[in-house]
Structure 1
Amino acid sequence: MSFFHFINCFALAFAPYFIVYKYSGINEYSSIWKCATASGGYLLTQLAKLLIIATFFPALDSEGFSIVPEFLKSSADIIDVIGLHLLMTNFLAGKGEVRFVVGGLGWGFAHSVAHRLVLLWVGARGTAFTWRWVQTSLDSSADLLVIVSLACLTWMITRTPNKFLVSPILAMCVFSTFVYQTVQHTFSLYGWSLLAFRFAYSIATAILTVVVYSANRTASTRKNE
């Protein structure tokens, strides 16, 4: 029974990536190896980020959540923007839409594998059933929305004159983990309530990204005319 629970949690965590790849149409423009390239870029970027965090943001002796140190640590996530930009510019080919969807999909898949696969293998196979691992698996879908939005905004930030519209939403993506932690400790949100907030935040970020991207496409079309 525990193994089937692991299979269910595994499907909840990773099936959305397969669905997006299969039915978004990017499989017609890009092979699975491009997503693997994006996953490799994620691993290299996280290695660089860990080195920077260990060097400039040493662990604090005080226990508990502190806003300023956590904010400074979250600022290291800007390295993800740099890594995504280098990845989509130099290692992924095709239209802009294909690049940021493939980059975001591969990046998000590697993120889920790194943060959830071992946890699910160890925890979801336990003898006692708990909703914790279902919630952990569903977190993956929320992260997928944020990461694809991050890739889209990273692609646009250097290609649009409306940077004042893109930058705030990009900051929402970069500091999403900090926002989750702050809300969790401030309002004591845990379990399903925290998961609901994560989904609400991710959906809001995705909607704002679509609006800004559509406005940018419309402005570009009018300019070309």
Structure 2
Amino acid sequence: MTLFHFGNCLALAYVPYLITYKCSGLSEYSAFWKCVQAGAAYLVTQLCKMMVLATFFPTSEGSGGHLDILGEFMKSTVDLGDLLGFYFILTSIAAKGEMRFMIAGLGWATAELVMTRFIPLWVGARGTEFDWKYIQMSLESNINLIQHVATATLVWLWSRHDLNKSLQPVVMVLLGLSCYKPLVLEVLVNAMGLGSWVLLLSKVMFTGCVGVIALQLYVGLTASSQNHYQGK
């Protein structure tokens, strides 16, 4: 029974990634090793972030269980390094524009999934007692996949010279919200006492809004580019 529960959690976490790889056209484009490179960039970026956090933002003790908003804000600021990691991937991988952010987002999310989810699922989901938190953990990995693809899309849009200047502040605000999302959710949890399922639903709503807006910006940019090309 415990192995069956572990298999369900593993499938719930990993199968959507395989479906995304197959249905997005990346498999036909033979982008597997490019996704591996994106995953390697994730590992290097996280290592650099850990070094910065350990050097400049050491863990403080004796907080009394209260949320240190300033400290958490400074730590969330380090997550801006993720945007540099995405930008490095997008500029270093040779592929079509729409394939670049899919490779970056999927490779990044897959590396995060393997590094942060596999061991907790292997140790916890195989336990003798059933716990919903492992189902929630698997569902959250799917949310993270959408979030990382949307973030990669926004970074790609920001790097485009043909993006309407009036839309650049929108892209920058969305990128900022993506980086500071953990802080915002942490404040909501401490202020409103959100339960685990409500918190998961909040992540779904936030990620869905960012993803839809990023998709609309991408569709608008590609449509305007095609019209400009046909006009010539």
Fold conserved between structures, TM > 0.5: yes
State the distance in 1 between where 2:226 and 2:170 align.
18
Count of residues in correspondence between the two structures: 224
1:179 Cα deviation after fit:
2.2
1:41 Cα deviation after fit:
0.7
Deviates more, 1:103-112 or 1:62-71: 62-71
Say whether residues 1:170 and 2:170 are aligned partners: no
- 8 Å Cα contact 1:149-1:209 kept in structure 2: yes
Give the TM-score, by structure 2 length. 0.92
User: Percent identical across equivalent pairs?
Assistant: 38
1:165 Cα deviation after fit:
2.1
Residue 222 of structure 2 is aligned with which of 213, 217, 224? 217
Corresponding residue number in structure 2 for 1:56 = 56
In structure 2, the CA distance between the partners of 1:93 and 1:2, relative to structure 1 (3 Å rule), is same
Corresponding residue number in structure 2 for 1:125 = 126
Corresponding residue number in structure 2 for 1:198 = 203
- 8 Å Cα contact 1:65-1:185 kept in structure 2: yes
Deviates more, 1:143-152 or 1:170-179: 170-179
Give the TM-score, by structure 1 length. 0.94
Deviates more, 1:183-192 or 1:101-110: 183-192
Question: Deviations along 1:9-55, whole A, 9 cap, x unmatched?
Answer: 01111111101001111211233111111111100110001001111
Moved >6 Å (runs of 4+) = none
**Residue 26 of structure 1: SS of its match in structure 2?**
coil
Cα RMSD of the aligned pairs, angstroms, is 1.4
- 8 Å Cα contact 1:149-1:173 kept in structure 2: no
Q: Report the AA paired with residue 213 of structure 1.
A: Y
Q: Give the structure with higher Rg (CA).
A: 2
Question: Deviations along 1:103-147, whole A, 9 cap, x unmatched?
Answer: 100100111111111111111010011111101110001111111
**Residue 126 of structure 1: SS of its match in structure 2?**
coil
**Residue 64 of structure 1: SS of its match in structure 2?**
coil
1:222 Cα deviation after fit:
4.1
Corresponding residue number in structure 1 for 2:15 = 15
1:223 Cα deviation after fit:
4.0
The answer for unaligned runs of 5 or more in structure 2 is none
State the distance in 1 between where 2:66 and 2:15 align.
35
- Write the mapping of 1:139-158 to structure 2, written as runs, cut at 5 A: 139-158=140-159
- 8 Å Cα contact 1:147-1:173 kept in structure 2: no
